[in-house]
Amino acid sequence: MSSKKVLVAGGGGFIGGHLVARLLKDGYQVRSVDIKPTDNWYQVFDEVENVVADLKDHEACQQACQGVDDVYNLAADMGGMGFIENNKALCMLSVLINTHLLQAATDNSVSRFFYASSACVYNADKQVNEDVVPLKEEDAYPAMPEDGYGWEKLFSERMCRHFREDYGLRTRVARFHNVYGPDGTWDGGREKAPAAICRKIINAVETDEKEIEIWGDGKQTRSFMYIDDCIHGILAIMDSDILEPINLGSDEVTTINGLVEMVEDIANVKFEHNHNLSAPKGVNGRNSDNTLIQQHLGWAPGIRLRDGMQKTYDWIRGEHLKKHEKQTV
């Protein structure tokens, strides 16, 4: 067991749960904090100090940071496009989490601080075409991020920078590009496109439906990063000397229609596609330029989208069947 103790804020969430698992495997002592009751955490580990607390509260952050060497802040009120486009105020309130954690980390002489930002910080004018040019880190300015969620992330990036400059806190910032995989949100309205598509196709198979709904025209382009690649990247960035925010994402591009067809192929089915043009669809095109992270860290995603989606589909299908069995008992 390592003598180093780390805090994972948002440890009951999708990425946080996987990060806790990896840190445990690497021998760290872990304090995991989330606002949800532990029964609602995606992964819970007996070896971890599991704490239920609202990190928007300053005193909760002070207590969470006591006695820890490193802080990983993945806590935020967020979800897929259906959530963030309709809950801008809730998303903006997450600024309290990062602000209070930065203050608490400084007060408690924390050594290192990681902040999970998002590709939603990027200038919208750079994402108007499906034939997308990969987004470089410099494309966040001049600022025109996603309204609500993107502004909160961009502001919090600046807070990390200034706490590093003014107080000497060693901050590191990664801009996540569409992380997906097992042990995450797959229904309820906060799920992202890969999980939502898997759920829709699984449900259609189970209920003998003939069509599925796709938000938007399906031509919008995206890249999706499997959770294992994300965790590897987080740890590499935390250990690095990279001072400015850096992209952490796959550069394997697909359309939403292409992603649907991929999952249909995994399920060995084919449906009619009902495109809901009034549903939230986000920007027309977004992809990660990985030049900097490859140059500085030699990092590149190791899991192909098709392979990651197979694992994700299998897990969601198991969860769907378990939920259905409970409802019919």
Chain centroid to CA 45: 21
Q: Is residue 294 part of a domain?
A: no
Please indicate, yes or no, whether residues 159 and 104 belong to a single structural domain of this protein.
Answer: yes
pTM value surpassing 0.75? yes
Q: Tell me the CATH number at 73.
A: 3.40.50.720
What is residue 2's predicted lDDT score, i.e. its pLDDT? Answer: 64
Could you list the beta-strand ranges (E) of 88-205: 112-118, 170-176, 179-180
Residues 62 and 85 placed together within one structural domain of the fold:
yes
Q: Give the pLDDT of residue 80.
A: 74
The structural domain count of the chain equals: 2
**Same domain membership, residue 237 and residue 322:** no
Count CB neighbours of 268 within 10 A: 7
Domain annotation covers residue 296: no
Domain boundaries, position 214: 193-222+253-287+303-328
> Domain check: are 237 and 277 in the same one?
no
- In this structure, the answer to whether residues 16 and 81 fall within a common structural domain is yes
> Do 148 and 278 fall within a single domain?
no
Exactly one of 42, 149, 180, 226 is catalytic; which is it?
Answer: 149
Distance CA 220, CA 321 (A): 30
Report H helices in 26-120. 58-65, 81-84, 88-93, 95-107
> Is the same domain home to 36 and 120?
yes
What are the residue ranges in the chain where pLDDT is below 50?
328-329
What pLDDT, in 10s, does the model give residues 181-224? 999 999 988 888 999 999 999 999 999 999 999 999 999 999 99
For residues 233 and 227, give the distance between their C-alpha atoms in angstroms, rounded to a whole number: 10
Nearest to 140 by CA among 129, 155, 130: 155
CA 130 to chain centre: 22
The pLDDT assigned to 327 comes to 58
Tell me: the pLDDT tens digits for 11-57? 999 999 999 999 999 999 999 999 999 999 999 999 999 999 999 99
Whether residues 311 and 235 fall in one domain: no
Q: Are 153 and 211 in the same domain? A: no
Say if residue 88 is in the same domain as residue 229.
Answer: yes
Annotated active-site residue 149? The verdict is yes
Q: In this predicted structure, what is the pLDDT of residue 190?
A: 85
Residues 242 and 257 in one domain: no
Residues 270, 147, single domain; the answer is: no
The owner of tokens 């897990």 is: 315
